[in-house]
Structure 1
Amino acid sequence: MAYEVEPPKYVRLAQTIQHRIEDGTYPPGTRVPSENQLVQSFGMSRPTVVRALELLKRDGWLESRQGYGTIVRDRPEVVEQKDRRGREALERDESQTSGRLVEVADVVVPARVASALGLPKKAKVLMRRFLVQEEGEAVELVSSYFPADLVEDTELASAEVLAGSVRQHLEARKRIRFDHVTERVSARLPETGEADLLGLPDGVPVLSVLVIACDASGQALQVSDVLLPADRQELEDTYRLS
């Protein structure tokens, strides 16, 4: 997808390397070129190359092995679990969800979202903010951000709830396909407006799940910031030890 503003150099480099993994240029289990080789091949600075490699490691495309270098891991595994926040944010039917559409507006993109979308600071994006409620209690605040060109010829800018999910709507209207999601979890104090909507007293933090929804090429199509009252959450995972 072409954006009006070109993504940062490290994002473009990461996308190029990812494309080479997907087309078999860098097969799974092999080493990617060294930092020096990438600097020379692409004419980019070492910090740019390092940042691109870290981005690919974070998203599961590469891994570092001591004494061997940076290894290709192939496409990141997509774990099918019903309680994934990212899947819920993409596939929630606003018209069938208990809660309300709080705001639809063009806003200056938040810094974390700008980085994920590959947009510069102060770029304008569309935000849809939905408050999820259970038995009248606010349980989740979802702020979803969309690049301007993705909004064209859709109903995303409408102040009315969508009939169906955002994913269904975008895939039907824009002829795109969502492929995978990356989730980044952090904790922070909510902004005043966020605290009011969630009914939180002063000093109560929230868990922020930044949901980055991408196509098969790794291009971020949508970013959602899912806020959960931290005093009502408990994260648990079970996994095998190798």
Structure 2
Amino acid sequence: MVYEVEAPKYVRLAQTIQRRIEDGTYPPGTRVPSENQLVQSFGMSRPTVVRALELLKRDGWLESRQGFGTIVRGRPAAAEEKDRRGREALERDESRTPGRLVEVGEVPVPARVASALGLPKGAKVLMRRFLVEEEGEAVELVSSYFPAALVDGTELASSEALGGSLRDHLESRKKVRFDHVTERVSARLPEAGEAGLLGIPDGVPVLSLLVVACDAAGQALQVSDVLLPADRQELEDTYRLS
């Protein structure tokens, strides 16, 4: 069972504005649409829009300038650090990472992954599952899924650990370009095989970080489900209060 709470509306709106800043729709130095325009464009209430803008100002994406309104600052340096876990999953070199490749093969696409890849229920995808270890202890189980159309002409189906990242491999072999990532965090009880690989007892949940990597058009190229034993994790963030 997966326990996943959808992000609040203001957070989802803030994430949409972030993506528009990153793709150049709202370039640095320009004004973002007015509150009225955002209310009309996204069909959200004014308090939701105001809260989203305040969140983006707090995190350094936007700033208020007297006489100019709300101005785009661009992607803050701190945001690069917060993306570290998802980027690691995409850019990990299997041949140089402590651990082992435990499974490679065609599998029915899991429901959460199907939604991200835009595939129907029961469709087949290629899965590469890698167990990351530190000093002989399993610390992370990464299951990466690829649509069949991206597998032909690559070494993704190889049972050997690949040199370089899976991202680099796809970009060089299929001439695609990874553009942005969406991360979704949830908690669930692991399947028996997952629990066995991670070495956790019955009843201990895992944190699931679903990393959806897309091209500039928003088409998902790779989805990685990163499982972390919940009893060994501590999430921490530090930020200023206005």
The reply to whether TM is greater than 0.5 is yes
Aligned residue number for residue 138 of structure 1? 138
Aligned residue number for residue 11 of structure 1? none
Inter-partner Cα distance in structure 1 for 2:94 and 2:113:
22
Partner AA of 1:205 in structure 2: P
Q: How many percent of aligned residue pairs carry the same amino acid?
A: 72
Superposition pairs of residues 47-66 of structure 1, within 5 angstroms:
64-65=49-50
Q: Deviations over 1:29-83 (max 9, x none)?
A: 2336958xxxxxxxxxxxxx98xx9xxxxxxxxx7348xxxxxx99987821287
Inter-partner Cα distance in structure 2 for 1:149 and 1:84:
28
Q: Which moved more, 1:173-182 or 1:220-229?
A: 173-182
Partner AA of 1:153 in structure 2: G
Inter-partner Cα distance in structure 2 for 1:80 and 1:230:
24
Q: Unaligned stretches of 5+ in structure 1?
A: 1-17, 36-48, 54-62, 67-72
1:29 aligns with 2:14: no
What is the Cα deviation at residue 24 of structure 1?
A: 5.2
Aligned residue number for residue 152 of structure 1? 152
Superposition pairs of residues 34-45 of structure 1, within 5 angstroms:
34=40
Aligned residue number for residue 224 of structure 1? 224
Superposition pairs of residues 31-110 of structure 1, within 5 angstroms:
31=37, 34=40, 64-65=49-50, 79-81=79-81, 84-110=84-110
Inter-partner Cα distance in structure 2 for 1:23 and 1:180:
13
Helix, strand or coil at the partner of 1:80: helix
Partner AA of 2:150 in structure 1: L
Partner AA of 1:209 in structure 2: L
Q: Deviations over 1:155-212 (max 9, x none)?
A: 0011111011101111111111111111111111000000000011111110100011
Partner AA of 1:174 in structure 2: K
Inter-partner Cα distance in structure 2 for 1:165 and 1:109:
22
Inter-partner Cα distance in structure 2 for 1:201 and 1:236:
25
When normalised by structure 1's length, the TM-score is 0.71
Inter-partner Cα distance in structure 1 for 2:84 and 2:179:
15
Cα 1:182/1:22, change in 2 over 3 Å: closer
When normalised by structure 2's length, the TM-score is 0.71
Aligned residue number for residue 15 of structure 1? none
What is the Cα deviation at residue 218 of structure 1?
A: 1.8
Partner AA of 2:97 in structure 1: T
Inter-partner Cα distance in structure 2 for 1:28 and 1:112:
36
Cα 1:168/1:23, change in 2 over 3 Å: closer
Superposition pairs of residues 192-203 of structure 1, within 5 angstroms:
192-203=192-203
**Large movers: runs of 4+ above 4 Å:** 21-25, 32-35, 73-78
Cα 1:197/1:117, change in 2 over 3 Å: same
Inter-partner Cα distance in structure 2 for 1:157 and 1:132:
19
Q: Tell me how large the CA RMSD over aligned residues is.
A: 3.1
Q: How many residues align?
A: 197
Cα 1:237/1:196, change in 2 over 3 Å: same
Aligned residue number for residue 57 of structure 1? none
Inter-partner Cα distance in structure 1 for 2:141 and 2:223:
14
Q: Unaligned stretches of 5+ in structure 2?
A: 1-18, 52-61, 63-71
Cα 1:156/1:237, change in 2 over 3 Å: same
Helix, strand or coil at the partner of 2:130: strand
Q: Which moved more, 1:125-134 or 1:113-122?
A: 113-122
Helix, strand or coil at the partner of 2:122: coil
